[in-house]
Structure 1
Amino acid sequence: MPSAAAVFHRPELARKLVQQILQVGVGSAAGSGVFLSAPRRTGKSTFVREDLRPAFEAEGALVVYVDLWANPPADPGDAIVQAIRSALQGQDGVLLRLAKSAGLSKFSVGGAMQFDLDRVGLGATVSLSEALVALSDEIAAMIVLVVDEAQHAMTSDAGVAALFALKAARDELNSSRHHGLRVVCTGSNRDKLAMLRNSKEQAFFGAPMVNFPLLGRDFIDWFCARIDLPFPLDAAQVWPLFAAVGCQPELLGAAGDHFRFDFELDPAAGPQQFAEEVRRLAAEMVEVQRKDIHSLTPIQLAVLRVMAASGNTYAPFETATMGRYRLAMQLAGLPADEVKADVPGVQQALIALQEKKLVWRAARGMYALEEQSTVDLLRAEGLLAGLD
């Protein structure tokens, strides 16, 4: 775990977010949930853990945190249920309330017989809404549920069910009889995250979507002052470099590790070589993705291109979309007798793209690109020309 000195804190941003989330103004939809979107590897999860959560707690809120990407093979619905069960542990008064609501006549806190938290869950004796209501009434405080990489909930039926259970809890807890529930969802892909709130059929329809601010010049000042290298770094030179590679702090850290133990390096050449290493690492990441794309079959590449060009309006099997697949293959120079797109072929292409981690599928048959950076790469390669 990083030490406190190794974490760049953003207390003012956390304070502003907490104020807007907890104090919902007239006409605001923030009480329905708040969605924070930022590209992967730009410091979002670190901020949530190190700054946003403590800021909520400083205001007296109980924070329930779950990272749906911490264990990708696990069902996201189970992860949400387990996070709520963990929040109930040690709350004897809550457990007593839940035992009574479950119809248990015998219950002793700390005794041989305990309330089994397995009774809390989706389709269980005690619903998530009932559990959160009991918790809210017992602690007499706002509950904030933070779901990191929330879009992953849509990859399973249990995950979708958990979101609707949270909606029911939100509606009840935000009534005048209780102390309130705020649901904060973060995600690394705006299109995926938008699926949770763009449709009336979704649990958090209409909830505000916020572009999470990327790390700025103050982070670079902090980084350059603290990195332990055989040569100094000038923040004025590192800042445009950082912005050019997508504001990804991991790239700066990896470049620093490359030079940290090079005791024979000429300090005068260090800053220039550091910049070259950052660019090399960024280019290496892009090249891996480029190789994946150029290894695709014609129909797989056509599906990927059309999906990238369509954005959140992508409908994989519509007649018009089928025509765009064929157009993509024609634009790629495929001979006319080889241009073919049908439903079975597209289905197989989508499966292959998922296996290659280029495409993501929600439980209800909606698709999106796994990484938003794929759009930028396809556009840079000229593969979206004529399809936008």
Structure 2
Amino acid sequence: MGLHFPRPKLAMDLATAVLGRSLFSQPSLFLAAPRRTGKSEFINRDVVPALRELGVCVIYVDLWKDQKADPAELVAHVVAKELAVRQGVVARAAAVIGLQKVCIQGVEFELGAVGKAAGAALSDALHELHRVVDMPIVLIIDEAQHVIARDSAMAVMFALKSARDTLNVDGRKFGLIMSGSDRDKLLRLVTGNAAPFLGSDITELPLLDQEFVHHAAGLLALEKPGWTFNNLRLHDAFVEFAHQPEFFFRAIQRASAAFSGPPGEFHDRLDQAAADYRTARAAEYTATYCAMTPIQQAMLARVLQGAGVFTQDALLEYARLKDPAANDPLSPGSARDAMNKLREQSPPVIWRSAHGEYAAEDSGMKSWYRDLATRNGWPPA
């Protein structure tokens, strides 16, 4: 059963926007969508082909695949590698030295030296790449929020902005698409005086919805001729699975498998799987919360609310959790120790940017909090 649902119009709209060929042109696009909702697949199978159809040199890097690596090095490497390949093709010597070197402004550099202080500037590499390919370049950085945790990676963001501005002086030659599974983290790239792309907007990538469910129903009808499927119930189940195709299709396969039960009870089985999934996710978050100390619980609540975690009123709140009669705030050092334990546990609960901003590591935890708060169910028991 095919999982991919093509969205060619949306892909082409984004491609023309980043290339300056639409009314809503933007040289840098920031796309946010929750994890496992098809964002990366959409980018690779829809957006990249749309860009190439428009005559674009596309460079793609996924910062999620190797989270231990420095994002700055990953970005510099894919640019250097693309340049090496293109120069190899131009010189009809693609196999020379295994494409381990590039030539920038007449000087030869090892691939690993691109983007380093003692090597070639990333901006120079992009200028050279444009000269070689003689076509627009679009760099796609998937899970771009990972750059925010390191100063070196943030420096690369400023280098990319510089390259974008200089290359685009006389026309759109270089565009950036950055996607992320956490909108709050992506915001650090576009808001605040230290943001490299200050003033840019975050676009919420539309979640797969009714049209995707119709697509899934069509696949089911082909695979199970004679069965009756209710699109409304399929959609309700998909929503319960948080618009995540992988878990949705996995549940469909189990509910429609041989010996799973009568065909007429397919939707009952799927509904139960969806309810079990939602309950299990909430139970995971609740167990994580209940394993924390009262001070850590208060810290997490503040992070989820978007409130300050080390303000004077926060420190006083923490102190009164230890002693309700306390008039003196908890020391900042003790508060940081509690926070660091949340960041260092496996898996980590809290994420911290290079500039000291905090967010939940799992973006789904924020939805869990909002759901409980709306139903007056916070804090969880």
TM-score normalised by L of structure 2 = 0.86
Query: In the superposition, relative to structure 1, how do residues 60 and 336 fare at CA in structure 2: closer, same or farther (>3 Å)?
Result: same
CA distance in 1, matches of 2:308, 2:198: 20
Would you say the 8 A contact 2:210–2:235 is kept in 1?
yes
Query: In the superposition, relative to structure 1, how do residues 335 and 257 fare at CA in structure 2: closer, same or farther (>3 Å)?
Result: farther
Would you say the 8 A contact 1:128–1:165 is kept in 2?
yes
Query: In the superposition, relative to structure 1, how do residues 116 and 95 fare at CA in structure 2: closer, same or farther (>3 Å)?
Result: farther
SS in 2 for 1:30: coil
Q: Residue 46 of structure 1 corresponds to which residue in structure 2? A: 41
The letter for the 2-side match of 1:357 is P
The letter for the 1-side match of 2:114 is V
Residue 364 (structure 1) aligned with residue 355 (structure 2): yes
* Residue of 249, 252, 258 corresponding to 2:248: 252
Query: In the superposition, relative to structure 1, how do residues 376 and 93 fare at CA in structure 2: closer, same or farther (>3 Å)?
Result: closer
Query: In the superposition, relative to structure 1, how do residues 299 and 212 fare at CA in structure 2: closer, same or farther (>3 Å)?
Result: same
CA deviation string 1:57-76 (max 9, x = no partner): 11111111111111112221
Q: Residue 302 of structure 2 corresponds to which residue in structure 1? A: 306
Query: In the superposition, relative to structure 1, how do residues 345 and 257 fare at CA in structure 2: closer, same or farther (>3 Å)?
Result: farther
Shift of 1:189: 1.0
* Residue of 84, 93, 103 corresponding to 2:79: 84
Residue 336 (structure 1) aligned with residue 314 (structure 2): no
CA distance in 1, matches of 2:247, 2:352: 29
* Residue of 290, 300, 317 corresponding to 1:294: 290
The letter for the 1-side match of 2:350 is V
CA deviation string 1:282-307 (max 9, x = no partner): 22122111111111101110100111
Query: In the superposition, relative to structure 1, how do residues 326 and 243 fare at CA in structure 2: closer, same or farther (>3 Å)?
Result: farther
CA distance in 1, matches of 2:68, 2:368: 28
Would you say the 8 A contact 2:319–2:326 is kept in 1?
no
SS in 2 for 1:41: coil
CA distance in 1, matches of 2:246, 2:271: 14
Query: In the superposition, relative to structure 1, how do residues 349 and 218 fare at CA in structure 2: closer, same or farther (>3 Å)?
Result: same
Q: Residue 141 of structure 1 corresponds to which residue in structure 2? A: 135
* Residue of 92, 101, 111 corresponding to 2:105: 101
Q: Residue 110 of structure 1 corresponds to which residue in structure 2? A: none
Residue 12 (structure 1) aligned with residue 9 (structure 2): yes
SS in 1 for 2:85: coil
Q: Residue 233 of structure 1 corresponds to which residue in structure 2? A: 229
Would you say the 8 A contact 1:299–1:345 is kept in 2?
no
SS in 2 for 1:90: helix
1:57-206 correspondence to structure 2 within 5 Å: 57-92=52-87, 99=103, 101=105, 103=107, 116-176=110-170, 180-206=173-199
CA distance in 1, matches of 2:49, 2:364: 31
Would you say the 8 A contact 1:122–1:162 is kept in 2?
no
Shift of 1:260: 4.7
Query: In the superposition, relative to structure 1, how do residues 46 and 103 fare at CA in structure 2: closer, same or farther (>3 Å)?
Result: closer
Q: Residue 21 of structure 1 corresponds to which residue in structure 2? A: 18
Shift of 1:370: 1.6
CA deviation string 1:195-231 (max 9, x = no partner): 0110232211111211110102110011122144695
Q: Residue 377 of structure 1 corresponds to which residue in structure 2? A: 368
Would you say the 8 A contact 1:308–1:369 is kept in 2?
yes
CA distance in 2, matches of 1:287, 1:77: 37
Question: RMSD of aligned C-alpha atoms?
Answer: 2.8
Shift of 1:378: 2.8
CA distance in 2, matches of 1:384, 1:194: 29
The letter for the 2-side match of 1:68 is L
Shift of 1:25: 6.4
Q: How many residues get paired? A: 362
Residue 273 (structure 1) aligned with residue 262 (structure 2): no
The letter for the 2-side match of 1:341 is L
Q: Percent identity, aligned pairs only?
A: 28
Q: After TM superposition, what 4+ stretches of structure 1 lie above 6 angstroms from structure 2?
A: 93-97, 383-386
Q: Residue 112 of structure 1 corresponds to which residue in structure 2? A: none
The letter for the 2-side match of 1:62 is C
Would you say the 8 A contact 2:147–2:154 is kept in 1?
yes
Shift of 1:94: 9.4
CA distance in 2, matches of 1:245, 1:341: 41
SS in 1 for 2:203: strand
Shift of 1:258: 2.5
Gap runs ≥5 in structure 1: 105-114
CA distance in 1, matches of 2:230, 2:71: 43
SS in 2 for 1:195: helix
